[in-house]
């Protein structure tokens, strides 16, 4: 693979860089501990995440006007609270819970791996998360991005082709000089269709069930890595 | 002044964070040393910088289609080279000279001051420089931005009111929670008109002539600072 032309790395974030599920469970438990509420926060986290794609698709189809991810998360959260029997939270508490996504914790290898990769490449996010979410997450988790790029800048969500091309253009890199890094095949396939290079990172615990996890079906990715340090090794960083 | 509501700082970059003039002179001298060319690089740097505002105004008035600052710098550079008797440079050399703006060096206080400010606030650029320029500059100079924002994202140059408001919105901060930091009065006055707080930083050597430098005429800025450490002190960071 001619990966020596790579200058910039674009990272998917939810699931690829941060462990959204364990982070949400931790935040949820802290919220309900003092109230004696019984909530299955793992189920809650899964439902919250599951609501995200249909909500985003409604924006992508034009059924909903542009909303950023904070707004979509809140839309879903307002439906989930009664469904999970959570009542009586003050507006400030609901808002703070919604912002749990700003405080997601990185996978154990992520910060060290990103620092290694940063020493050789420009490293940037390319997430559907909004800029303030990604900025606060980076500050909270110590993620050393060179630049924070988001679907919010283009008012189009991944996997819209324009998100990948616009991100490359902003970084001054051609698609073939750019490596999209993600734990999700659909994201990488969409990036590849626009001429970007692709790196699949295995995150078998993203949905909490490592036993059901399998390698990608798609065999056409330029790199397959077990974590960010393994990615750095393969890229000579 | 009620500055305790401040959550985010937006920084002008050219002249406020980096010493564009001395940096360009250094780059220019390195380029011509081996060729025996006699160029007054201080005059060249001043002419390059002086060409920037009229070129940008042509974009702002709609006479030129949107061009980012790399493109505007190159437009000016192509006029300056013959005027200063510089001939025979290869395209790659001209391009590398144009990218001297990606390698501008920070004022001596800037990196330490920004690190202090970052410990308490979100710190972001709000520059007319394009994203790739600002990203490479940060990497080269060690500027620890939480987020890189640019007029390029809005396809409107400062002091267009929308640049300030859009930057606040992306950071999730209200204008009154945001402090615009600049060494230029017009930038700050435009930010203030949109409800942002303002900090004037003295950069008496920006144009190389400290003897002609005076304090701002405008007495309405929330903070006036000698450098970024002095700014950090005043903001309790």
Q: What is the pLDDT of residues B140-155, one digit of tens each?
A: 999 999 999 999 999 9
Distance from the Cα of B58 to chain A's closest Cα (Å) equals 22
The C-alpha atoms of residue A81 and residue B152 are separated, in whole angstroms, by: 40
Token pair listed for B62: 């709609």
- Tell me the HSE value of A133 on the side-chain side, using a 13 A CA sphere: 29
List the beta strands (DSSP E) in chain B.
8-11, 122-127, 147-150, 178-182, 197-201, 223-225
The C-alpha atoms of residue A57 and residue B24 are separated, in whole angstroms, by: 48
A140, A103 in Cβ contact below 8 A?
Answer: yes
Predicted structure pTM score? 0.96
A/B interface, count of CB pairs below 8 Å: 52
The C-alpha atoms of residue A100 and residue A22 are separated, in whole angstroms, by: 11
Q: Which residues of A touch B (CB under 8 A)?
A: 70, 122, 124, 130-132, 134-136, 138-139, 146-148, 152-153, 170-173
- Which chain A residue shows the shortest CA-CA distance from B129? A170
Position B1 pLDDT exceeds 60: no
Share of chain B above pLDDT 70, in %: 100
List, in order of start, the domains of chain A with CATH numbers: 3-19+105-234 (3.40.50.1000), 20-103 (1.10.150.240)
> Could you give phi then psi for residue B161, rounded to 5 degrees?
-55, -35
Nearest to A173 by CA among A110, A103, A123, A224: A123
Q: What is the pLDDT of residues B211-222, one digit of tens each?
A: 778 778 888 999
Q: What is the ipTM of this complex?
A: 0.95
The C-alpha atoms of residue B227 and residue A45 are separated, in whole angstroms, by: 46
Q: What is the pLDDT of residues A61-110, one digit of tens each?
A: 999 999 999 999 999 999 999 999 999 899 999 999 999 999 999 999 99
The single-letter DSSP state of residue B14 is: B
Residues of B in contact with A139 (CB under 8 A): 122, 146
B98, B131 in Cβ contact below 8 A?
Answer: no
SS3 A120: coil
Residues 6+ apart with CB under 8 A from A191: A10, A159, A164, A180, A182, A198
Token pair listed for A188: 């990488």
- Which chain A residue shows the shortest CA-CA distance from B118? A139
B81, B94 in Cβ contact below 8 A?
Answer: yes
The answer to whether the CB atoms of B171 and A135 lie below 8 A apart is yes
Residues 6+ apart with CB under 8 A from A128: A14, A56, A69, A150, A151, A157, A158
Distance from the Cα of A130 to chain B's closest Cα (Å) equals 8
The pLDDT assigned to B73 comes to 97
The C-alpha atoms of residue B188 and residue B182 are separated, in whole angstroms, by: 7
The answer to whether the CB atoms of B147 and A148 lie below 8 A apart is yes
- Which chain A residue shows the shortest CA-CA distance from B168? A132
Q: What is the largest CA-CA distance in chain B?
A: 57
Distance from the Cα of A50 to chain B's closest Cα (Å) equals 25
Token pair listed for B221: 């800025």
């Amino acid at each position: 693979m001619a990966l020596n032309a790579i200058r910039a790395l674009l990272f998917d974030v939810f699931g690829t860089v941060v462990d959204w599920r364990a982070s949400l469970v931790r935040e949820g438990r802290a919220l309900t501990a003092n109230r004696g509420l019984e909530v299955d926060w793992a189920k809650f986290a899964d439902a919250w995440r599951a609501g995200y794609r249909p909500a985003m698709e409604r924006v992508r189809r034009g059924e909903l006007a542009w909303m950023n991810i904070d707004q979509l998360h809140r839309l879903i959260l307002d439906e989930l609270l009664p469904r999970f029997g959570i009542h009586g939270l003050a507006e400030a508490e609901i808002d703070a819970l919604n912002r749990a996504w700003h405080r997601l914790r990185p996978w154990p290898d992520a910060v060290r791996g990103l620092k290694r990769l940063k020493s050789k490449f420009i490293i940037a996010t390319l997430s559907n998360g909004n800029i303030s979410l990604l900025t606060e997450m980076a500050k909270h988790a110590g993620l050393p991005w060179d630049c924070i790029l988001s679907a919010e800048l283009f008012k189009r969500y991944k996997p819209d082709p324009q998100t990948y091309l616009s991100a490359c253009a902003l970084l001054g890199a051609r698609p073939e000089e750019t490596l999209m890094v993600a734990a999700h095949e659909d994201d990488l396939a969409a990036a590849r269709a626009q001429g970007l290079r692709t790196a699949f990172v295995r995150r078998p615990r993203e949905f909490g069930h490592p036993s059901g996890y399998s390698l990608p079906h798609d065999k056409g990715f330029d790199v397959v890595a077990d974590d960010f340090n393994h990615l750095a090794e393969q890229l000579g960083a």
